[in-house]
A and B are shown apart, each in its own frame.
Chain A
């Protein structure tokens, strides 16, 4: 039972353009959402988060949007850089401390 879904296994974007990574969830109890970035042979690195009381959070080149009615969130990276190439995981939590992760999206930024 996948409660957090990242339906695009991979995404390829030209350097300087916008990268949009999408995530859907099914559990209405989730109230906190996070994005992590992961390089091969390393642990996930926290990028940005958003609480369910907000619909947008911005940090530099990274912006996360939350649409609660659609149970959908997205991560925008602009402008995209080659160093952004990695696997991006969406994660959610609700009322507890454990994170529920999506399967990840591989982002490739071409120079």
Chain B
């Protein structure tokens, strides 16, 4: 009964490189969320996806960041041309669709700690 899986757990990139963060939701969950946590701050919502659809990307920076959740495989958060300010912990969460149509609680993965040097 695996929980939300994220890899890699730690990622080091030089400025200008690309970072790819992966998230596999819990079994049976079709809704994925990405959050970012900067040091000494709470988690900030970035994007909410269902399979093959972006539902809400209001928290995503306008440039360099993109996310996808393909029909097969994990959700990917992609950061192009990383800068030092992108250094943070990135958390993925998933939730199930409930019988009544609403969404269940969000369960979080262990996070990916991105360091940009």
- List chain B positions with a Cβ less than 8 A from chain A: 4, 6, 31, 33, 35, 40-45, 48, 55-56, 58-59, 91, 93, 95, 103, 105-111
Q: Are B108 and A43 in contact (CB under 8 A)?
A: yes
Top 4 nearest A-B pairs (CB, nearest first) are A43-B108, A101-B42, A98-B45, A101-B43
| Number of residue pairs spanning A and B whose beta carbons lie under 8 angstroms apart | 57
A34 within 8 A of B: yes
Q: Are B40 and A103 in contact (CB under 8 A)?
A: yes
Q: Are A97 and B48 in contact (CB under 8 A)?
A: yes
Residue among B4, B6, B93 with most chain A CB within 10 A: B93
Given the interface pairs A96-B56, A101-B42, A103-B41, the reply to whether A43 lies near B109 with Cβ below 8 Å is yes
Q: Are B110 and A41 in contact (CB under 8 A)?
A: yes
Q: Are B43 and A44 in contact (CB under 8 A)?
A: yes
Q: Which of A4, A46, A100 contacts B106 (CB 8 A)?
A: A46
Given the interface pairs A49-B105, A97-B55, A103-B42, the reply to whether A44 lies near B91 with Cβ below 8 Å is yes
Identify whether the interface residues of B are mostly helix, strand, loop, or mixed.
Answer: strand
Q: Are A97 and B103 in contact (CB under 8 A)?
A: yes
Given the interface pairs A43-B91, A44-B91, the reply to whether A100 lies near B109 with Cβ below 8 Å is no
A45 within 8 A of B: yes
Q: Are B33 and A97 in contact (CB under 8 A)?
A: yes
A59 within 8 A of B: no
Q: Are B110 and A42 in contact (CB under 8 A)?
A: yes
B91 neighbours in A (Cβ, 8 Å): 43-44
In the bound assembly, the distance between CA atoms of A96 and B105 in angstroms comes to: 13
Q: Are A101 and B4 in contact (CB under 8 A)?
A: no
**Which residue of B has the minimal Cβ distance to A4?**
B42
Q: Are A89 and B108 in contact (CB under 8 A)?
A: no
A89 neighbours in B (Cβ, 8 Å): 42-43
Q: Which of A36, A43, A102 contacts B110 (CB 8 A)?
A: A43
- Interface contacts beyond A41-B111, A43-B4, A43-B91: sample of 9 additional A-B pairs, CB < 8 Å, sorted by A: A6-B42, A34-B105, A41-B110, A42-B110, A43-B6, A43-B108, A43-B111, A99-B33, A102-B42
**Which residue of B has the minimal Cβ distance to A38?**
B108
